[in-house]
Amino acid sequence: MKILVGLGTCGIAAGAERTYEALAKSQAAGTVPFELDKTGCIGMCYREPLVEIRSDDGSRVQYGNVSADKVDKLLSEHVVQGKVIEDWLVWADDGRGSERAYFSHQTRIVLRNCGKINPESLEDYLAADGYKALRQVLDQNDPDALIASIVDSGLRGRGGAGFLTGMKWRFTRLAEGDRKFIICNADEGDPGAFMDRSVLESDPHSVLEGMVIAAFAIGANDGYIYVRAEYPKAIERLNIAVAQAEAAGFLGDDVCGKGFSFHVKLKEGAGAFVCGEETALMASIEGKRGMPRMRPPFPATKGLWDCPTSINNVETFANVPWIVLNGAQAFAAIGTANSKGTKVFAMAGKIKRGGLVEVPMGISIRDIVFDVCGGIKKDKKFKTVQMGGPSGGFIPAELQDTVIDYESINKTGAIMGSGGLVVMDDTTCMVDVTRFFLEFTQRESCGKCTFCRVGTKRMLEVLTRICDGNGREGDIELLEQLAVLTKNTSLCGLGTTAPNPVLTAIKYFRSEFEAHITNRRCPAHQCKPLLTYTILDSCVGCLLCAKVCPTKAITGELKKVHVLDQSKCTHCGECHKVCRVDAIAVY
Amino acid sequence: MSEHRKFDFKKQHFAGEEGHLIPLLQRAQETDGYITRERIAEIHKQCGIPLAQIYGVATFYAQFRLHPIGKNLIRVCHGTACHVSGANDITKAIEDTLGVCNGETTPDRLFTIETVSCLGCCSLAPVIMINHSTHGNLTEKEVKKVLKQYQKADIGEVQ
């Protein structure tokens, strides 16, 4: 019997390391015999720490929220008595478990090994058909046929823009140059997106294998993985994987003994969102300030150190070995006419089952939110999803039947982006969230283009004054004008997409902006300067609110209804927070 | 910070490799906790990179600090998921507890507060990271408890 503990960043944050240690201690004590191993993230962040028990006959049972103090019960009941603990059961391969629906709607290609294998073990990856695709590609020794099959598969770049991966490879292959590079973009900077981190932490070899295959296709002998320094676990596991692959001959001077040479280096990003843009990313690898440059020339002809370079995203690379092994047709059979395969989404926000899901293209937003992820937390009203982070936009609940493919998403004004999907309910203020995104893009603008540098700042100022209750007539139109100008006159993706949250928020939630400006009201009760607090007759007179009020605006006697002096109130909301009988109304 | 030890940047394994300035600065910050003037001068002298270029890079990237920080670095996540789950309230609770604002260090040099864009643990929002440990699903009460642990036991690793 084997016990696996999910040790991704989410799991560790939820206490999985303590669970692992407790299990290791019991194992060392030797009273109950079992094997113990680590694995990556299976995607159910909302039930971490997760523990899987694999019986000798191969059957799998997964338990959720297994904190260290539950280890003894787990061992005595499941391992010793062979009894499944129904209350903790998340999922079992015989069809039981409360969270069955989470997996039954998914098609796992990118996440095929995540949460199944030990990410620090090359043997585990090899046992899961690892590096088989690379061997096959090297045996066939036909880069053009390989590129043709990637083109046929319809795989499009998963970093957000959605360019055909095979075409990118073809351009780079055809470009003239003695030295060519392949770069893996793992600078996952979108707030709300964490699928690349999870793939790198849970299955780093699949990304490496995809990279070596791509390198062979375009004729590159050097590669870089540009990974965020904020992802220490991913960096640690990538380093282990690179060392293992080098030792086993999957990387190095003579890959698989076929005479092809490929070396990979890790570059840690130093925290700049704009470095997700390919030309800025290359400037950063070259040791410069990460500022984008004009395209063309595209990296495929003039990239890193002016050499032809193909830059692909983590998820794109993780798809490649699967496509090689299963054939382009198998991949193209999944999805819609122009968007093939699957997409991994990082589900977060006001959603019941937050985590990673991999769904076939063509599924609707409604199905992801309600069928896969169980709907909105506390069954509140579904308001909107935000797709694509600060470069993306809002898709309102009315459009929840929009299907996931590049073109349909673009039509709404949002973008597919890298796959962050943040769900919002009716307690989210759209003006406030839009301001939040602009705060981000304004801070991260590299400053090269005037409209991005100044335009984002002006938009942020307007949004801030609307949230502060100082919105003016004409502010909405001003925002629209600034948004369009910034979109049209910026060089790189950061500036051209930064106005998307503003434009989509106004398009779908204009009345909320108007309520802030005209009526000085925040319908979602989030913008504090616009809120009015009053004490209801149900006040029991406990004096708690009077004590916390920083401006002494609340007065009253014990067991008598208190009084709030509006002229002194600073709208801080502390009274509302401490009231135990909900006697403070907010409107 | 211990007394200033000189590095031989040329002997670092980055030397001779193209584009090594960022890794050099990362190494310097790892050792000293921030980028000191002395290190910048050393890099300039040993590697021949113009001072303006070193400052340009060091001030461009969010990771690099030109000022010392406290023993425990608190990173408060302000990603989208954390924002809609109350990251502002968490920041305020930390500021109230420690008596310093975001970006500042406490007078006893025990804590520095810093906001970051996203720590990538969105489903545990709101999240903070103290040194290398992540704390998720926080409430204002909860975060005060966490801080107390660090204050009491002083258990954070020295940066």
Shortest distance between the Cα of B112 and any Cα of chain A, in A, equals: 17
Give A331-380 pLDDT, tens digit per residue: 999 999 999 999 999 998 899 998 999 999 999 999 999 999 999 999 99
Best mutation target, A233, A282, A436, to test chain B (most B CBs within 10 A):
A436
Rounded CA gap, A358 and A43, in Å? 9
Residue in A closest to B119 by C-alpha: A230
Residues B50, B54, B56, B57, CA torsion sign: positive
- Contact yes or no for A350 and B84 at CB 8 A: yes
The better pLDDT of the pair B126, B1 is held by B126
- Contact yes or no for A436 and B85 at CB 8 A: no
Among the partner residues A229, A433, A440, nearest to B84 by beta-carbon distance: A433
Q: Looking at the predicted structure, is the pLDDT value of residue B14 above 60?
A: no
pLDDT at A22: 94
Q: Looking at the predicted structure, is the pLDDT value of residue B126 above 80?
A: yes
Q: Looking at the predicted structure, is the pLDDT value of residue B3 above 80?
A: no
Residue in A closest to B53 by C-alpha: A288
Give A414-465 pLDDT, tens digit per residue: 998 888 899 999 999 999 999 999 999 999 999 999 999 999 999 999 999 9
CA angle B111, B114, B119 (to 5 degrees): 115
pLDDT band of residue B133 (cuts 50, 70, 90) is confident
The 10 Å Cβ neighbour count of residue A57 is 6
Task: Provide the percentage of residues in chain A whose pLDDT is more than 70.
Answer: 100
Residue tagged 């929002």 (tokens): B125
Residue in B closest to A390 by C-alpha: B80
Among the partner residues B23, B81, B116, nearest to A348 by beta-carbon distance: B81
Burial class (CB in 10 A: 0-12, 13-18, 19+), A446: buried
The 10 Å Cβ neighbour count of residue B4 is 12
Residue tagged 């280096």 (tokens): A265
- Contact yes or no for A349 and B26 at CB 8 A: no
Give every CB contact of residue A495 below 8 A, 6+ residues apart in sequence.
A445, A449, A451, A452, A455, A456, A486, A487, A489
Range with the poorest average pLDDT among A190-194, A266-270, A330-334, A542-546: A190-194
Among the partner residues B19, B80, B124, nearest to A287 by beta-carbon distance: B19
Cβ-contact A166, A323 below 8 angstroms: no
pLDDT at B11: 57
Best mutation target, A307, A427, A440, to test chain B (most B CBs within 10 A):
A440
pLDDT at B17: 59
Rounded CA gap, B62 and A348, in Å? 25
β A181-186/A222-228 pair status: parallel
Q: Whole-structure pTM over 0.95, yes or no?
A: no
Contacts with B91 from chain A: Cβ below 8 Å: none
Range with the poorest average pLDDT among A88-92, A111-115, A189-193, A226-230: A189-193
The 10 Å Cβ neighbour count of residue A529 is 12
Best mutation target, B80, B138, B143, to test chain A (most A CBs within 10 A):
B80
Which amino acid is located at A464 in the chain?
Answer: T
Q: Which of A239-248, A383-392, A578-587 has the highest mean pLDDT?
A: A239-248
Shortest distance between the Cα of B1 and any Cα of chain A, in A, equals: 22
- Contact yes or no for A289 and B57 at CB 8 A: yes
Rounded CA gap, A238 and A232, in Å? 10
Nearest Cα residue to B137 out of B121, B150, B153, B148? B121
pLDDT at A333: 97
Among the partner residues B23, B61, B134, nearest to A271 by beta-carbon distance: B61
Q: What is the mean predicted confidence (pLDDT) over A389-409? A: 94
pLDDT at B132: 80
Shortest distance between the Cα of A476 and any Cα of chain B, in A, equals: 23
Residue tagged 């050393």 (tokens): B42
pLDDT at B158: 39
pLDDT at B156: 47
Q: Looking at the predicted structure, is the pLDDT value of residue B9 above 90?
A: no
Among the partner residues A197, A269, A348, nearest to B123 by beta-carbon distance: A348
ipTM above 0.90, yes or no: no
Shortest distance between the Cα of B57 and any Cα of chain A, in A, equals: 5
Contacts with B78 from chain A: Cβ below 8 Å: 191, 436
Shortest distance between the Cα of A355 and any Cα of chain B, in A, equals: 6
- Contact yes or no for B118 and A272 at CB 8 A: no
CA angle B8, B12, B17 (to 5 degrees): 125
Shortest distance between the Cα of A232 and any Cα of chain B, in A, equals: 9
Shortest distance between the Cα of B53 and any Cα of chain A, in A, equals: 8
Rounded CA gap, A563 and A541, in Å? 10
The better pLDDT of the pair B1, A221 is held by A221
Task: Provide the percentage of residues in chain B whose pLDDT is more than 90.
Answer: 50
- Contact yes or no for A197 and B120 at CB 8 A: yes
Contacts with B56 from chain A: Cβ below 8 Å: 289
- Contact yes or no for B22 and A9 at CB 8 A: no
What does the longest C-alpha to C-alpha distance in chain A come to?
Answer: 87
Q: Looking at the predicted structure, is the pLDDT value of residue B2 above 50?
A: no
- The single-letter DSSP state of residue A550 is T
Shortest distance between the Cα of B56 and any Cα of chain A, in A, equals: 7
- Contact yes or no for A230 and B116 at CB 8 A: yes
Q: Looking at the predicted structure, is the pLDDT value of residue A274 above 80?
A: yes
Residue in A closest to B121 by C-alpha: A10
pLDDT at A418: 83
- Contact yes or no for A13 and B127 at CB 8 A: yes
Among the partner residues B18, B62, B81, nearest to A271 by beta-carbon distance: B62
- Contact yes or no for A191 and B80 at CB 8 A: yes
Contacts with B127 from chain A: Cβ below 8 Å: 13
Mean pLDDT, rounded, of chain A = 94
Contacts with A307 from chain B: Cβ below 8 Å: none
Rounded CA gap, A278 and A284, in Å? 10
Residue in B closest to A9 by C-alpha: B121
User: At A266, phi and psi to the nearest 5?
Assistant: -95, 135
Q: Does B81 touch chain A (CB under 8 A)?
A: yes
Shortest distance between the Cα of A156 and any Cα of chain B, in A, equals: 24
Contacts with A192 from chain B: Cβ below 8 Å: 79-81, 118, 122
Contacts with A50 from chain B: Cβ below 8 Å: none
Give A539-585 pLDDT, tens digit per residue: 999 999 999 999 999 999 999 999 999 999 999 888 998 999 999 99
Best mutation target, B24, B55, B60, to test chain A (most A CBs within 10 A):
B60
Give B59-106 pLDDT, tens digit per residue: 999 989 999 999 999 999 998 889 888 899 999 999 999 999 998 999
Q: Looking at the predicted structure, is the pLDDT value of residue B5 above 70?
A: no
- Contact yes or no for B134 and A191 at CB 8 A: no
- Contact yes or no for A191 and B61 at CB 8 A: no
Half-sphere exposure of B67 (CA within 13 A, CB side): 9
Best mutation target, A347, A382, A422, to test chain B (most B CBs within 10 A):
A422
Range with the poorest average pLDDT among A204-208, A221-225, A327-331, B137-141: B137-141
Among the partner residues B19, B26, B79, nearest to A270 by beta-carbon distance: B26
Contacts with A348 from chain B: Cβ below 8 Å: 80-81, 122-123, 125
Q: Looking at the predicted structure, is the pLDDT value of residue A394 above 60?
A: yes
